[in-house]
Structure 1
């Protein structure tokens, strides 16, 4: 059931009190958090009853606005309490394609070393690296979005432990975005600006160094050839 404006206002006030009072590293306390956990359990139950992945994602899009007051309050006044609502909703925003909102939340979760809920078998850093890379490569975000967002993911996860294959996929996705490559469509390498060629090549080489089967060798060869052909002849 959607909240009325008065209910949202009250929820926001209670959420702000709860997250501000939470001990660092401890779990938030108070009625707002307890009600949020009840709501989260109900939403999880409803998701479990849905078999279609597409319908699950649509359901998450419908649920997510109900957590905005809690998320905003946590970002404003949170002390880093271990918050299962925050981390679950972060993943749901990625699933729903709300990448900008997820990136708004991710630095807070990383700064306070928030742990993923028990039902997830990947760390927060791995989830961010894996899911953003897959979204870009799978065409779920535009080239412009990938160019803007993937460096943010790289920056905030740089010091986190994650499988090399996942990080390789992220560099591949960013490299492809830099040269404007979408899916299996070809690229006019000769028309690419040299700065994009150099930056794309750097990221694809990094991807290859992390995971040899990442699938970028052909692109590396063509970008390298483009740079060599553009170099001035030796005197």
Structure 2
């Protein structure tokens, strides 16, 4: 699909022009660039259906995603809105591939313009972003792996105000708090403000979903804040 810099540039321009013409409607569905990209997406989805391993699917998605870069760049540059199943699908693919910053760049566009997920998905776009990133972060933290706190903060911010089950938002807030607290080390200790932010997230998460699993985290965070404030008063 995108086999040369010239062709990629042409695809980006065509995608941007198609999105601008759509201007919040559904006319993009009838444009050649959209139909071509949708056909490519269907072909790649067929390849993915042949794989059972979620990890292997994520790896294949990571390999396939550059094919769509020019299209995504063009649509996001137009910033015009209009339902686009390619864009919303690739938002999720980037999450599955662990490309969270790219996913959130797309999510900001999807949520700002009210794009929906394709019909085969039952969740709203906001729910997809919050749930998938929250789960990925919590799974990483359980194994002691690092997960960028900045990604979690962006996910919280970009999905703020979007409807989703309370437990989904609670999970994302729990992940952000745990991710932040995990950065606390002797070499780089957290300050009182950062710990207070984590406490606020944990309290909100528990309020939203009492069984979210954050109660012990909250106790530890409150003890840490007391310790920090005590050290500051002794200085």
Common fold by TM > 0.5: yes
Cα distance in structure 1, aligned partners of 2:120 and 2:113: 20
CA positional deviation for 1:177? 1.6
Q: Which residue of 1 aligns with 2:166?
A: 164
Q: CA RMSD in A?
A: 2.3
What is the number of residues matched between the two proteins? 225
Pairs within 5 Å for 1:201-212:
201-212=199-210
Q: Which residue of 2 aligns with 1:15?
A: 15
Q: Which residue of 2 aligns with 1:65?
A: 66
Pairs within 5 Å for 1:92-131:
92-131=93-132
Question: 1:27 touches 1:83 (CA, 8 Å); kept in 2?
Answer: no
Pairs within 5 Å for 1:40-55:
40-55=41-56
Question: 2:183 touches 2:190 (CA, 8 Å); kept in 1?
Answer: no
Cα distance in structure 2, aligned partners of 1:180 and 1:196: 12
CA positional deviation for 1:127? 0.6
Question: 1:18 touches 1:30 (CA, 8 Å); kept in 2?
Answer: yes
User: Unmatched 5+ residue regions in structure 1?
Assistant: none
Secondary structure of 1:162 counterpart: coil
Q: Deviations over 1:124-149 (max 9, x none)?
A: 01011111111211118734x2x212
Q: Deviations over 1:44-82 (max 9, x none)?
A: 111111122122111111111111111101111142111
Question: 2:176 touches 2:201 (CA, 8 Å); kept in 1?
Answer: yes
Cα distance in structure 2, aligned partners of 1:178 and 1:12: 37
Cα distance in structure 2, aligned partners of 1:177 and 1:17: 40
Cα distance in structure 1, aligned partners of 2:153 and 2:91: 18
Question: 2:138 touches 2:175 (CA, 8 Å); kept in 1?
Answer: yes
CA positional deviation for 1:87? 0.4
Q: 2:146 aligns with which of 134, 139, 142?
A: 142
Deviates more, 1:153-162 or 1:94-103: 153-162
Q: Which residue of 1 aligns with 2:25?
A: 25
Secondary structure of 2:140 counterpart: coil
Cα 1:93–1:226 shift into 2, 3 Å: closer
TM-score (ref. length: structure 1): 0.87
Cα distance in structure 2, aligned partners of 1:22 and 1:195: 45
CA positional deviation for 1:229? 5.2
TM-score (ref. length: structure 2): 0.87
User: Unmatched 5+ residue regions in structure 2?
Assistant: none
Question: 1:22 touches 1:78 (CA, 8 Å); kept in 2?
Answer: no
